[in-house]
Structure 1
Amino acid sequence: MASVSGLTIKRQTGSSTYYATWDFDSSISQSTGGGVNEGDWVTINDGATWYNGVEIADWCFSETWMVIQVSGDRAVLGENQGGGHDIQSPINVNDLSGGSGESTETITDTLENYDVQWYYDTGDDIWFEGSSDSPTSTHSVYSSPPSNALRIKVKVTPVSKTYTVNDNETSYWTGEANEEEFSLAGDPPETPKTPTTEIEKLKLTASIENISDPRTDQIEFEVFNDLVKVNSTIVDVKLCMASMSTNVIAGGKYRVRCRAINLYYSSKIYGEYSEFTSELLTIPAPVTNVVASADSKTSVVLDFDKSSTATGYKIEYVTNRDYFDTSSQTSSLSVTTNRAHVIGLDTGKEWFFRVAATNSKGDSEWSDIVSLTIGSAPAAPTTWSSTATAIVGEPLNLYWVHNAKDNSSQTFAQVEIDVNGTVKTYTQKNSTDEEEKDKTSSFSINTSQYTEGTVLKWRVKTAGATNEYGPWSVQRQVNIYAQPTLELGLTNASGVSVETISAFPFYISAVTGPKTQSPIGYHLTITAEESYTTVDAVGEDKIVNSGDDVYSQYFDIFTSLKAEISAYNIAIKNGMHYTITCVASMNSGLSVQKTLSFNVAWDAIKYKPNISISVNKKNFTAYLRPYCLDMNNKETDKVIISVFRREFDGSFTEIISNIENNKNTYITDPHPGLDYARYRIVATEKSTGTISYYDAPGYPIGCRFAVIQWDEKWRNLENATVDAQEQTPWTGSLLLLKYNLDVSDSNAPDKSLVEYAGRKHPVSYYGTQLGSTSTWSVEIPRNDKDTLYAIRRLSTWMGDVYVREPSGSGYWASVTVSYDIKHTELTIPVSLTITRVEGEK
């Protein structure tokens, strides 16, 4: 498709006529006849027909054909290059490409004319036809569109000349329309000249005069402070001029530009911006952060922040604040930098200072007033030391900060050192370097010259610009001690030093020194040197990583340490290596640490823990008799025994721990599971801490009711005889719910859902509380006085209860009871709200 390019619409200057211009290249390249010879391989051009005008099948265009005969403009095609077809069909040689004698010619005169159509729009987005034209040149004119037209549009389509092919008229190409719109309201106004601008105090005025463009209805002024636009104002043009004013701030650097606006119906058509004005300054911004410092007994240095547009600064100073603006006793000084030296001042007086910045526009407001009394000695310095307890041979640093009353820097310092009543004073000159002179000062002491127990007292005084020393600082004290020592020992039960532990108990001893220092406590840890898996006191597998503490204890004693380590307070494994670390804290404030390594090697002996179980079916308590046999199936006194109840969720609850095996002890478990009583018996060898355990088979209880117990007391029976069970091992209150029970459980985990910006969903955070609650509903016969009595007692119980269900679950809970007795009903509905809580056995 052929189309015009660069189509534009413009208004003719000084009239209401609009014209369109465009570009178009009408030249084409075309193959000439006689280019095809017999034996050539050729392809058929798109759109071609057979020589007699018959349409050619589509598949023929994709094949390459052999020319077998040529006569004038008539060629005959034979077989295709693939050899699958032999069409023997005549065609015009001009419809073939690829001939060996083919040539190309350029035809430049292919354009007949342009079809031009103008349109206009009155504001409803409906285009009406205006004038039309058929020019042969690349422009067209639209004279005087309707007065209510808001937009015009031109559509240009090139029209091709034709030529004869097989007695048919054929176009060189097919033209395609191109269009362009133009807003009549869009006649932009002329670009205005640079506005005239001036700043008076803190008011900026910009104006333009002698405006001659009739399309300039308004002027928009833009004001910039440096690179930031701070104001934009549109004003109407009146009497061929426009003007605006705006307030500006001190210290600004302003530039102004403007542009014209053409009002067309409800539209605003903006012109191009003018050039910026040159930079205009305001009066400087007020000076800030004025600091006055004494330079000598009769001079002061003023430092302050620079004002960005200032070319100089004016300083005024007086001996009475009220003299400013009211007295001839005011002295002044002008400088060009943000530091001023004021000299010739009277010593001992308080002087007041203020500063103003200046430039060609005037002076800024005065700064805040600052004052200084020159010739004042400094206050006592602030002091501290690197430590209050030093070790002989280690460096001791004394620090202080000069506290000037006249803001002057420290010039000298005197350090007084009192060692056991011997006083020496050292004078230290301060650095004069601007970067260093106001930093913290220090004085170093070599403590290797002192002995254990030395008491060093020190204080400092400093001098400022007047070289007059101020008062002494508070006197501080440093105690100097020798490095404490610690001797660490490891012995067996016989008191023999060992490196290998073969049995419990063993002992760790620690002795500190020197005698001038006393211990106030020891922190003792035992750490595994390698990773391993062991069994904990409950019989559960436990992973110990290298570096984990297997023992940690603090001893708050003031004497030497001797700690007994036994199977009761540590679990170590045969064949493993461990490190003892002891840190002793001394009354001197110092501490000392020592380590000692040992390994474990003992004879492993296996034991056979077991248990006898019986159940009281009245209150559903269990009586347990744990015991342990050695390899000879005899009870042994070399182990201690612990018993754990396995709960419904797989966790363990301790029933009793560390009881002697050789005593005939019966243990009362008040809360076994109502389906099966399940227990784990753990035997710990006294001499090695080796753990053996046994999970007893579940003892069937088979209770089909729910049980609630409260206000309980129970005891264990030691050295029990056959008649011992006549003593009641358990007492308390018990509610047995024998009737159909409806249960509704609910869990409300402790969680927070937090919504974050940028996320589609909230983020969840979970705590440790599960929030387990349950509601039990049951109806009891109104003649079951015993159950009703128990329910009434439970409803007034102020404490936790133990709840057991037939499924085997059991837990401590807080229970709220409600029931409703109606004289017409034979049953009493009872509701129990149960909230699970933490409890013991």
Structure 2
Amino acid sequence: DYRQVAGEHTFVESGVAGRTYTADCYIMNTYNADHEKSGWSPKSQPVKTKPAVPGRPTAKAQGDGAVVSWPKATGAETYEIEYSDDTGAFGTDQSQTASTEGVTSIPFSDLAQARAWFFRVRAVNSTGPSGWSPLSAALLLGKPPTAPTVWSSAVNAVKGEKVTLYWKHNTADGSDQTAARLTYNPGTGDRVVTLGAEGEYTLDTSAFADGAQVLWNVQTVGVTGEYGPKSENRVVRVWEQPTVRIDVLPLIERYPFTITVDPESPTQRAVAIDLSVRAVAEHSVVAPDGTERAVAAGEEVYSRHFANPADPLGIALSAGDITLADGQGYEIIAACAMSSSLSCAATVRIDTQFEPLDFMVQGVIEEHGRYAAEVRPFAVELPAATEDGADEDAPDPGDGEGEEVAYAADIELSVYRHESDGSMTPLARKLPNDGTVTIVDQHASLGAQSYRVVAQDKRTGRIDYDDVSDSVIPCNGIVIQWAGSNAASYYVGEEAADAPDTSGKVLELGKGIKVSYQAAKDGVLRPFIGRRHPASRYGTQLGTGCTLSFSFPRRDAATVALLRELEVLMDDCYVREPMGAGYWAMAEVKWDWSADSAVASGTIEVSQIDRVDECVVGS
């Protein structure tokens, strides 16, 4: 460039951005007609202008970060990049900066995901920085979400029920759900529902077919606007509500009676049925052992679970299965679990009206060896009333034998032993009533023997009993038994007399007997502030036992052998005392003898245990 000035002069020249300038001059004599000129002065020091403003940068995602590039700016030596996810932060200390030298792009790896980022650039040289470029277009960093987690309020629903479908947006970049796409197919084709940020959808099942299998899945969207993969397919089964019908006679007059449970559904089957019978009103019944028991209103008198039942399920209840009182009402309840996992239930009422008792129960006790007793139970028919309403005299059945004895038909017998503590031990049940059955009790009480003979009419369930007692066992000492078979056994006809001895090892101690009883109750006394006396608390253990003192001839080899065997017995034994007590126990033997005496003596520490004799069942 060239300029002419007069005298001394300073001028400012803007120049072109990014270029280097020098200046020199000469002097011209304007008074001289020839305009003589001097030579050129030395050149000035170079002066560089600021670089040009770079063009608008371009930002592209790369991996988890971004690459920002821009056009080269004239005169640039380095570049400064300012960036932020807030356009209002540029030019403040809230933005971030980076720099680069000699290149027109820069990678970023520290950018937070799920945000829109903006960038601007300026060039820098030794003179200073240029102005800032325009902001780049927004760069949205993020990833599509992974498949959502899905579940539903029910997997089996009654038709018409509303089922809620749920899902959880599984973000891959920290962004929230912005949209969702639900696809479900009730068997008639896909149906697509587009939703917003919600995480659930209510599915109306009213229009679906019985047994329909509704497949459904969900896709979600995060900040990127790109749908992630579909969730796994879930299933909702839709069913008509199943029902069940109970068929039974409304008036029960005799046993057995049949209850039929019929689940009604064309698409479902019963996988389990719970059948129960409950009393309508409070009443009392006679239990199988002859005792009377109160039944509360609503109390369950029968309950049974049937897995994989027949369809329909028919069950015949006999007097041995359920005890119903005469003149009472009962509710039969059937609850069905269906293959669909749905359930249904039904209730019907029945009433009872049984015939009166027409039999009499008796029993005969006889001796069986030295330590056992025989019990022969039977029930005989009662005479019918005469035309004038009076009862005929019943013939005395005596010992229950003879042609004149008429045994009652459809009767089932049971035998119980009365224990000294007032309880009863069942010895045999379901015995025929033909006068031929004999029960042998190897653990019969010493002193007096007492049994309860119970008869149940299989047609009506009515129960009657007779308590019989006698003293037929000659032994009046202490008897300890072990290593025997079952205490009770039954025989038919004359077999009892020829029955083998199953009493096992029997130790009889009859001299110098003394019994000392003790009980260690599971109880404590607790003092409380404000009470004058402590309060008692009891557990379940009684800890009963006794000390048996005895003596015997020192040279009684049989007794010595049994005592030595009992000393080392690692098993339970059965103890009977002369006052009638009998129980299973653990025994510890201590005895001694002296050469100066013909009599040996000792003690047996007896601790009663929780064990009872087994009950035999007739064929």
Pick aligned residue for 2:427 from 649, 655, 660 = 655
Structure 2 partner of 1:484: 242
Q: Is the 8 A contact 1:668 1:730 kept in 2?
A: no
Give, in angstroms, the shift of residue 580 of structure 1: 0.7
Partner of 1:143: none
Residue aligning to 2:509:
737
CA deviation after TM superposition for structure 1 residue 757, in Å: 9.9
Post-superposition Cα deviations, 1:786-831, rounded to whole Å, max 9, x if no partner, equal 1111112222333211111111111111122233455555433333
Q: Is the 8 A contact 1:299 1:344 kept in 2?
A: no
Choose which of 724, 748, 752 in structure 1 pairs with 2:520. Answer: 748
The equivalent residue for 1:396 is 163
What's 1:78 paired with?
none
Give matches, 1:133-152, under 5 Å: none
The aligned counterpart of 1:556 is 307
CA distance in 2, matches of 1:699, 1:625: 15
For 1:522, give the aligned amino acid.
I
What residue in structure 2 maps to residue 695 of structure 1?
Answer: 467
- Structure 1 residues 701 and 724, CA, compared in 2 at 3 Å: closer, same or farther? closer
Post-superposition shift, 1:656?
Answer: 0.8
1:575 alignment partner in structure 2: 327
Residue in 1 aligned with 2:215? Answer: 457
Give runs of aligned pairs for residues 320-331 of structure 1, distance below 5 A.
none
Within 2, Cα distance between the matches of 1:687 and 1:344? 85
* Cα gap change, 1:346 to 1:773, in 2 (>3 Å): farther
1:649, CA displacement in angstroms?
Answer: 0.9
Deviation of the 1:698 alpha carbon:
4.5
Normalized per residue, the structure richer in strand is: 1
Structure showing greater relative contact order (alpha-carbon pairs closer than 8 Å, 6 or more residues apart): 2
> How far apart, CA to CA, are the structure 1 residues paired with 2:85 and 2:535?
68
- 1:522 maps to 273
Question: What is the letter of the counterpart of residue 614 of structure 1?
Answer: E
Q: CA deviation at 1:758?
A: 10
The CA deviation at 1:406 is 4.8
CA distance 1:725–1:443, shift in 2 (3 Å):
same
Picking from 254, 257, 261, the partner of 1:506 is 257
CA distance in 1, matches of 2:97, 2:476: 102
Letter in 1 for 2:185: D
Is residue 391 of structure 2 the alignment partner of residue 630 of structure 1? no
Deviations 1:257-315 (A, max 9, x none): xxxxxxxxxxxxxxxxxxxxxxxxxxxxxxxxxxxxxxxx9469xxxxxxxxxxxxxx9
Equivalent position of 2:415 in the other structure: 643
Q: CA offset at residue 469 of structure 1?
A: 3.1
- Could you list the per-position Cα deviations for residues 242-261 of structure 1 after superposition, in whole angstroms to 9, with x for gaps in the alignment? xxxxxxxxxxxxxxxxxxxx
In 2: Cα distance, 1:726 partner to 1:317 partner: 112
1:382 to 130, 136, 149: 149
**CA 1:343/1:643 → structure 2, altered by over 3 Å: closer, same or farther?**
closer
The amino acid of 2:235's aligned partner reads Q
Instruction: Give yes or no for contact 1:381–1:400 (8 Å, CA) kept in 2.
Output: yes
| Alignment CA distance shift 1:344-1:581 (3 Å) | closer
Residue aligning to 1:358: none
Find the aligned partners of 1:744 and 1:756 in 2 and give their Cα distance. 35
* 1:612 is aligned to 2:364: yes
In the superposition, the TM-score normalised over structure 1's length comes to: 0.52
Give how far 1:617 is off.
Answer: 5.5
C-alpha separation in 2, matches of 1:631 and 1:513: 48
CA deviation map 1:304-343 (0-9, x unaligned): xxxxxxxxxxx989899xxxxxxxx9x9xxxxxxxxxx99
**In structure 2, the residue corresponding to 1:783 is in which secondary structure?**
coil
Q: Which residue number in structure 2 is paired with residue 818 of structure 1? A: 590
Moved more, 421-430 or 574-583: 421-430
- Partner-residue secondary structure (3-state), 2:485: strand
Q: Which residue does 1:790 correspond to in 2? A: 562
The Cα shift of 1:415 comes to 1.1
Q: 2:599 maps to what in 1?
A: 827
Residue 519 of structure 1 aligns with an amino acid whose one-letter code is A
1:781 to 549, 553, 569: 553
The answer for the alignment partner of 1:769 in structure 2 is 541
Question: Which residue does the alignment assign to 2:131?
Answer: none
Match of 2:285 among 514, 520, 534: 534
Aligned partner letter, 1:628? A
Q: Check if 1:446 corresponds to 2:204.
A: yes
Helix, strand or coil: the match of 2:340? coil
1:712 aligns with 2:488: no
Cα distance in 1, alignment partners of residues 572 and 416 from structure 2: 22
Normalised to the residue count of structure 2, the TM-score between the two structures is 0.70
